[in-house]
Structure 1
Amino acid sequence: MATQKISESVYMGMCLEIGTPQQVASRRDIRDIAEMLMFSEMLNRRFTVMLSGSRREGFRLSGSDLDYMRWPNNHRVIWDFSQCQFYNTQEHALILCDSSESPPGFTLLWLPLERANSRVMSACVRMNGMLYISSSKYREVTCCIIFSDSTPHGPCSSGLYNGELEYDAAHCFISDFWPSSASSWKDRCHSWPPRQVVNEIIRNGCHFVAIGHKSGNHADNEWRISFSRAEYKLVYSMNHTQFLTYGLLKLFLKEIINNGLRVGDKLLCSYHIKTAVFWAIQQNALPHWHPKNLLVGFWVCFKLLLKWVYEGNCPNFFIPENNMFLNNIYGEAQRTLFTQLYILYEKGIALLLHSPSINSYIINVLCNPRLTICTVEHTLISEVELDTNIFNEIFINESIRSVDLRICRKYLHAVEESIGLPLTQYHNVMLRKLTATILQRTAFMLHNLYTNTGSNKQLYIVEKMACHMLKIAARFGFVSDMLYIAMYYYKTFRYRVALSVIDITKVKLAQPYLMYRSRVDRERYIEAVGGQSLSTKMRQAVAHDIRLDNEIFYIDELIPEQQSSKQNNEPFLIIPPLVLLYMLECLCSRHVNTLRAQIALDDLQVLAHHDQGQLVPAHLKNISWEILGICQQIAENLQAALYSYQQSLRQYPYQKIKTATRQRIQDLHL
């Protein structure tokens, strides 16, 4: 009974650390619908990007990387020539697998027609008179495609996003066909995963990432078969106890096994952990996974891992012949690791007391043996906390790019197509926000396109359409999305109309129940919108930062900042809503009411000088000081503007606008 109580306590603790079923489901659904729209087939994109790794699986563990896979859509890998019939070779460059000299799970990629894009061709080598794509050369030529400061890391390009978040981007190829070397996997799936999941996984094929087997005959040229998409589908099909067991093992690895070790000394990785969980579930090592036996499930997986280290063999879940320990867990390193793990094994479940994330949930039960534990997950997290997480996830994932009007039109068509799909509440609210974003970008692109080229009649029609789109977007998106309407009216010289929109927005942003990021009065929020749909809450009670696509110019006063940000590979300029509101109020009022312009400037100054991170997050202080400086410079208060620009330069350079700031300082001519 004591073990069951500890299991239940740890289960509830893991729900707090990793997420309840609702939180995890919302994270997955929001990302899935975003990717479905961003890389819809009708967009005819040259490449596809897929979020992978722990964040795709539904984890939000501190310190975890952003893992991406990126592949060209006009290249396809096939396993034999009979599969050529499914492709138009004028549209697709076909790549043939040659696994004859490679270890299990690896292959050479042969270009039989010697035709591919220039980047692929530059990574080719000749072997036995035939052209092969070299994995090492491909890593070199693709390393800096996304970010210029990326460095190689295994099969990936790695670096820091915005100076703080680590990313790994794997440039790879895709095959629409399941590899024959993994054919036995389908036959093993009797009890798990469900048949429909198995069929979907096989239908989606696999990928090839640019790294060879260290012990292979062609280590620099081989490619590893990747099952990343299959793996996150498997994790999706776990019940919540299984998912939390996986999460507990990840924490165990990070906080106990690998704690204090240098990167090169960490022999076990999270992929080994995930593989152990997959095997344990499929082999029915535990007949029923539920909160009362969470620790039993953890122990089953730990013992399996210990057995693998003892034997020196970690069988890949899809291709068991691929021993994933072969490269680094053998000899003295293997014996040392086994000794370390066996010492932990002898401690029993008490070993988890060494985990700072978990120990309190064990100690609570040990100190209070009569403690009653409720394992109803939705009682753990309030409606407000869940909503906060959901709306922050939506903001993070709705950063779609709008290259031109043609793409926007296709986005909208993709939205229309998705309406008939079986969508969850999280899919629906994300789709609404994506629609709002597309309409906003379309409106400004339309105006920019026709301002200098269209006739008066055309311009009138375009402006009417643009205003209509922005008003629809405001009904679909956040409360703060009304500021796009105000920006548009300012851009088109309708200052009084813009001010009327600003007045309405100011009232809405001042409501005591408003949620902004994680700032919210819980009681008033529940009184105002508790129990209502997520779409209603988003439209009536949630504000978020304004994201300006650096490919589109919104207002002239921010063009230098957008250009500076764009030159530094930043796709967006992000502004706190109140900062933009006061800026627009100041700019519009200059033309109709100079006293109001000064009041707005004073409000903006108070916000920049005195806000403690409530309305101006720390990472957005540089753009906030910059905007204050712009408004002060326009008001001809040059000394104050200089001070604001200098303050902008002292802040964390999240927006990468320093080039614009320095130029503005030079232009002051003080």
Structure 2
Amino acid sequence: MMIATHDNQEYNTGYVCITSGSFGEGLDMKGSDLDIMQKSKYIEVHENMSSDYYDKTCFPISMEDTKPGFTYLMLKYTKDDDTLEMCVYVRGKLYFSNIKFKKCFSGRGFLIKDHGPCLSDKYDVFDICYCLHSKSWITSANRWITRSNNSWPSVEVKQSIIDHGFLCVPIGVKGSENEEVEWRLSFSVGEKLLIYTFNHTMLLCYAVFKIVLRDVINKDIQCKNLLCSYFLKTIMFWVSEELLPSVWTPETLVPCFLRCFRRLIYCVEYSVCPHYFIPENNLFENKIHGHERQLLLSNLNVLYSYDWRCIFFSPQIIRCKLSPNPNINVIAHSVSLDRIVNSRTLALFENFTTVGVQKTVIQLTSDYVRSVFACLCLHSNRIKRIHLRYMSFICHKMSQTIQLTTRNGNKYQYKQYNTCLSYLLRNIHSDTVSGWLMLASFFYRRQQYDISLDLTLYALSKCTLEKLYHGKYLSRILFEQMSLKTFQKKGIMSLLKIVNVTFCNFIPDSSIVPTELVIGADTNFFETHDIPAVVYAHFLRVLCHHHLNNIRQCRECLIDLQLTISEGYFIPKDFVAMSTGAKANSYNCLGVAWQLLGKSENARQAFHKAIQMWPEPMFNAAFKRLS
């Protein structure tokens, strides 16, 4: 629901964001990457061009001499020179090159590697696919509309999928003569809508199926990467279409799972896995053959011989979370809270949308207006709270884009001051601490050091041991608190505001980040700051006392800052690219603090430690500070 809210509200001048993969389907699988599709608004794809007037770049599709599930995009109209340069001549006609299209996004920020039709980062945690959209349905998938007769999917769901159309992603058939100008047809949004129709048993079966693939099948080095989760999803769709929805009950979970497993074995044995929407497209064609196929088939048959017990080969299954207090039953919303706070993918996703995607003030304002409109129109309080959380993220960004120092006179500056302050006050509802620290940072930039000190002290008073942050799981105390009726009545979003502590995130050119952290203009440096909340609170107190010439208090706060970093207090301990940057930024803050006190050697050691933890010159400010 949180992902759907984001996708509905996200605005970008040139692209529409679509969260896909396991995370977009509502499954936060351990070790999964974050799959995001960016759909172009400036380019349209059509199967039948019914007009001679176009206000956008248009590509009619041409599937002549292509493998089922793929198409050529022949240029019909454009007034954009960049698009024209991405076209190549084939048989005397201009076709859109998937290689040139993808290349124009490669190297932007952290996207440095090719991964199929996607671009990925160094750590393989992000998969971003830039793609094109057709609003009309594709003729080659017409049989799907009338094929099912077991009431799944429903007529309404089918119509919704048809109304969305399809996507074209930049990848051709490997080894094809015209691979560069072939585009794969994608039904990612339709597939996500189908997953959303799954009942609990279907979703559980699908999740277990994927866990067995990731944790058991792919652990064999010789079988690794022979199967992908998309094959399993396709099999789930076929089996779901064949069975009546009434069959999928908790009592039949095991038989349904084993039916899907048998279908997988059949597909591997006969090297056939028809695409769900376009069955003529065999997903296993030229994929698994020879010795690899025999080895995979042997392993699958061995696993199947264990019946449903094969799932216990997965460490995720055998490590089911139990209550730390045997006298208290596991409470559903407590487990959900624990999973949300410690979700690696959600942490990456929220960081990507909060800091990773740079937007103009107009774009942010449009996001904000849509969020307000959604909150006013929605009747469900649960969905309203999700929108309010998303609105808080928008306010977090908007407050940092408002320039507080201008030459337009005191009246305008006073207006900017109040506008920024109002956004920051709306931002305090996202979690229990970081919103207050952003407010303290605002007053620090306004040289109101006493107010900033009061706010940091208040924020630190809320950082008690039972609070949660990424990497810390529910303690015995908090579990007992969650069993109280007062907490059980609260929704997940309300609980996140009470017990969750997140990073302090500063966007590039932030108007409220301390000037001591600003490096300066550099086109080869992406200056963002993800600082653990407690680290930033102590760092801000060092700065305030330094400006107030409180030497003793300044040194005491510096000692607190050192202890916080060395003890890892409220600093994530597991590896996430974002967390690694946050740890490095903690040492950067310590280095800056030492510089203020004139301890150059201590500062140098802190910056070296930051580089050791995060050796990324494009993102880590320590490289610039030591140069």
Pairwise TM-score range, normalised by the shorter structure? 0.7 to 0.9
Larger mean CA deviation between 526-535 and 398-407 belongs to 526-535
Kindly provide the amino acid, as one letter, of the partner of residue 229 in structure 1: V
Give the structure 2 partner of residue 591 of structure 1: 547
Match of residue 44 from structure 2: 76
Q: Does the C-alpha gap of structure 1 residues 61 and 558 become closer, same or farther in structure 2, counting only changes over 3 Å?
A: farther
**C-alpha distance in 1 between matches for 2:286 and 2:23:** 27
Which residue pairs with 1:607 in the alignment?
564
Relative to structure 1, the CA distance from residue 595 to residue 120 in structure 2 (aligned partners, 3 Å threshold; closer, same or farther) is same
Deviation at 1:614, TM superposition (A): 4.1
1:542 is aligned to: 500
Q: Choose from 602, 609, 625 the match for 2:587.
A: 625
Q: Alpha-carbon deviations, 1:496-534, whole Å to 9, x = none?
A: 222222232232234x54333335545355368453244
What's the % identity of the aligned pairs?
Answer: 24
- Give, as a single letter, the amino acid of the residue that structure 1 aligns with 2:154: P
Aligned pairs (5 A) from 1:186-265: 186-190=145-149, 191-214=151-174, 218-262=178-222
The residue number in structure 1 matching 2:9 is 37
CA–CA distance in 2 between the matches of 1:419 and 1:67? 27
Structure 1 residues 561 and 211, CA gap change in structure 2 (3 angstroms): same
Name which of 132, 143, 168 aligns with 1:173.
132
Are residues 435 and 268 of structure 1, via their aligned partners in 2, closer, same or farther at CA, if it must alter by over 3 Å? Answer: closer
Provide Cα deviations, 1:616-660, integer angstroms capped at 9, x if missing partner.
6472322112111211211223333233223323324479654x3
Equivalent of 1:490, from 420, 441, 444?
Answer: 444
Work out which of the residue numbers 49, 67, 73 in structure 2 matches 1:103. 67
CA distance in 2, matches of 1:212, 1:423: 45
Please tell me the residue identity of whatever aligns with 1:153: H
Out of 123, 126, 134, the position equivalent to 2:89 is 126
Structure 2 unmatched runs, 5+: 321-327, 574-578
> What's the offset of the Cα at 1:218?
3.3
d(CA) in 2 for partners of 1:215 and 1:657? 37
Residue 216 and residue 417 in structure 1: after superposition, are their counterparts in 2 closer, same or farther (change >3 A)? same
Alignment of 1:436-515 (within 5 A): 436-448=392-404, 451-475=405-429, 477-510=431-464, 513-515=466-468
Secondary structure, aligned partner of 2:120: strand
In the TM superposition, residue 235 of structure 1 has moved relative to its aligned partner by 1.1
SS of equivalent to 2:394: helix
Larger CA deviation: 380-389 vs 70-79: 380-389
- 2:252 is aligned with 1:293: yes
Q: Measure how far apart 1:423 and its partner are.
A: 6.6
Match for residue 274 of structure 2 among 305, 315, 322? 315
SS of 1:452's equivalent? coil
Name the CA shift for 1:286/1:228 in 2 (closer, same or farther; >3 Å): same
For 1:340-379, list aligned pairs within 5 A: 340-346=299-305, 348-349=307-308, 351-352=310-311, 354-358=313-317
**Counterparts of 1:63 and 1:515, CA distance in 2:** 21
1:158 maps to which residue? 120
Residue equivalent to 2:110: 147
> Secondary structure of the residue that 1:414 maps to in structure 2?
helix
Paired with 2:245 and 2:14, the residues of 1 have a C-alpha distance of 45
Change over 3 Å in CA distance of 1:159–1:501 after alignment to 2: closer
**What does the per-residue CA deviation read over 1:563-603, in whole Å, with 9 as the maximum and x for residues that have no partner?**
68x84557x42101111111111211233343322322221
Gaps of 5+ in 1: 1-28, 362-377
Contact kept in structure 1, 2:117 and 2:171, CA below 8 Å? yes
Distance in 2 (CA, whole Å) between partners of 1:662 and 1:333 is: 46
Structure 1 residue 419 corresponds to structure 2 residue 375: yes
* TM-score with structure 1 setting the length: 0.81
3-state SS of 2:489 partner: coil
3-state DSSP of counterpart to 1:72: strand
Counterpart secondary structure, 1:49: strand
Matched, 1:302 2:255: no
Q: Deviations over 1:299-352 (max 9, x none)?
A: 111222233334332111111121222222456655565455445545544555
Does the Cα contact within 8 Å between 1:102 and 1:217 map onto a contact in 2?
no
Deviations along 1:199-231, one digit per CA (max 9) or x if unpaired, are 221111110112223476633322111111111
CA–CA distance in structure 2, aligned partners of residues 395 and 349 of structure 1: 33
1:220 counterpart SS class? helix
Select 2:338's aligned residue among 375, 388, 394.
Answer: 388
Residues 520/602 of structure 1: CA separation in 2 closer, same or farther (3 Å cut): farther
Conservation of the 8 A alpha-carbon contact between 1:97 and 1:110: yes
Contact 1:529/1:541, CA 8 A, preserved across alignment: no
Which shifted more, 596-605 or 71-80? 596-605
Look up the equivalent residue of 1:179 and give its one-letter code: I
Shift in alpha-carbon separation, 1:116–1:110, aligned structure 2, 3 A: farther
In structure 2, what is the equivalent of residue 20 of structure 1? none
Q: What is the alpha-carbon distance in structure 2 between the residues aligned to residue 202 and residue 417 of structure 1?
A: 27
Does structure 1 retain, via aligned residues, the 8 Å contact 2:469–2:572?
A: no
For 1:275 and 1:140, the matched residues in 2 are separated by 30
Shift of 1:281: 0.8
Partner of 2:325: none
Q: Please give the alpha-carbon distance, in whole angstroms, between the structure 2 residues aligned to 1:103 and 1:312.
A: 17
Q: Separation in 2 of the partners of 1:420 and 1:471?
A: 19
Q: Which residue does 1:138 correspond to in 2? A: 101
Per the alignment, residue 552 of structure 1 pairs with 510
Distance 1:616 1:111, change over 3 A: closer
Residue 634 to residue 129, structure 1, CA distance change in 2 (3 Å)? same
CA deviation vs aligned residue, 1:434-487 (integer Å, no higher than 9, x gap): 322322333332234xx1322012212221232233223224554321111111
State whether structure 2 residue 625 is matched by structure 1 residue 661. Answer: no
Change (3 A) 1:379 1:117: farther
| 1:47 Cα offset (Å) | 1.7
1:62 to 24, 30, 34: 30
Q: Using CA pairs below 8 Å that are at least 6 residues apart, which structure has the higher relative contact order?
A: 1
The one-letter amino acid paired with 1:388 is D
> 8 Å contact 1:207–1:226 — kept in the other structure?
yes
Distance in 2 between residues matched to 1:360 and 1:591, nearest whole Å:
51
Aligned to 1:26: none
Paired residue type of 1:574: D
Structure 1, 343-352 or 501-510: larger mean CA deviation: 343-352
Higher deviation after alignment, 178-187 or 284-293: 284-293
Q: Report matched runs for 1:575-586 at 5 Å.
A: 575-586=531-542
Say if 1:574 and 1:655, in contact at 8 Å, map to a contact too.
no
2:571 and 2:583 in contact (8 A); partners too: no
1:133-172 Cα shifts (integer Å, max 9, x gaps)? 133443444433453522x332222332xxx343333232
Q: CA RMSD of the aligned region, Å?
A: 3.1
- Does the 8 Å contact 2:591/2:607 carry over to 1? yes
What code does the residue aligned with 1:206 have?
F
Q: How many Å apart are 1:111 and its aligned residue?
A: 0.9
Q: Which amino acid counterpart does residue 184 of structure 2 have in structure 1?
A: R
The letter of the residue matching 1:509 is C
Distance 1:289 1:595, change over 3 A: same
Moved over 6 A (4+): none
